[in-house]
Structure 1
Amino acid sequence: MRRIVSTLLFLILIGGGIYFAFIYYATFSEGVRSGELIKFSHKGVIVKTWEGEISQGISGAQIFSFSVEDKNQEVVERMIDYQGKYVKVTYKERFGTFFWLGDTKYYITKVELEDSPHLKRKTATESKN
């Protein structure tokens, strides 16, 4: 009986480890999105996570919600600096998430400032015409 219980506990631990590794390391998709950074906050009661939103258009249906892991401190600092500006973010989508990693399945790995398509500057050739 004791051997059965210990084998069962061992299998549960191995299964839990495989599940955690799959959720944490397996990437469902990777990509790039652009838009105006409208929200970035450090939220949570017990476990604080970095959460944000990018507006990709005029309607509220075009909001991209994302998370940033604490280990990406450079991305966190840039997000704080770029608040309200047009940005391009590189992300990875996971199959799932854990409460201590973030609220979404989308995790930002890189952020860059980008020129807004709504406020395009005229180039020298365009202004001559």
Structure 2
Amino acid sequence: MKKTLFLVFLGLALIASAYMAFIYYVPYSTGTRAGELIKISQKGVFFKTWEGEISQGISGAQIFSFSILDDDKEVIEKLNELQGKYVKIKYTERYKTFFIWGDSNYFVTEVVLEKSPHINNR
């Protein structure tokens, strides 16, 4: 009986580990988006996650929400510096997310300051 119970728990642990590895290492899509960085914040009570938003339209009509993993310290610092400016971000979309990673399925991996197309440069 103990051996059967052990094998059941071992099987469940392996399935859960494989599921988490699949969600973390296999991206659904990758891409870039550009817009005005309107929000970057750390939120949560027990598990703090970094969340952000860029406005991709005039007057904030189209908002793109994203998360940043805690391991990406350089990206977090750069986003904090560039808040309110026009940026281009590279992201990875995952199939799902876990509450300890962030609210969004989109995870920013790189951020670059970009020239705004809304400013008339004469």
Query: Which TM-score tier does this pair reach, normalised by the shorter chain?
Result: over 0.9
TM-score w.r.t. length of structure 2: 0.95
User: Following superposition, which runs of at least 4 residues in structure 1 exceed 4 angstroms of deviation?
Assistant: none
Q: 1:118 to 1:61 in 2, by over 3 A?
A: closer
Q: Which residue is equivalent to 1:56?
A: 56
1:23-50 alpha-carbon deviations (Å, 9 max, x no partner): 1111000000000000000111111111
Give 1:120 deviation, angstroms: 3.4
Give the TM-score normalised by structure 1.
0.90
Q: Does 1:19 align with 2:19?
A: yes
Matches of 1:80 and 1:2, distance apart in 2: 53
Rg larger in structure: 1
> Which residue in the other structure is 2:75 paired with?
75
Counterpart in the other structure of 2:92: 92
The residue type paired with residue 116 of structure 1 is S
Identical columns (%): 53
- Counterpart CA distance in 1 for 2:19 and 2:105 is 15
- The alignment covers a number of residue pairs equal to 122
User: Which string of whole-angstrom CA distances, capped at 9 and with x for unpartnered residues, describes residues 8-28 of structure 1?
Assistant: 111101000001101111100
Gaps of 5+ in 2: none
**3-state SS, counterpart of residue 115 of structure 1:** coil
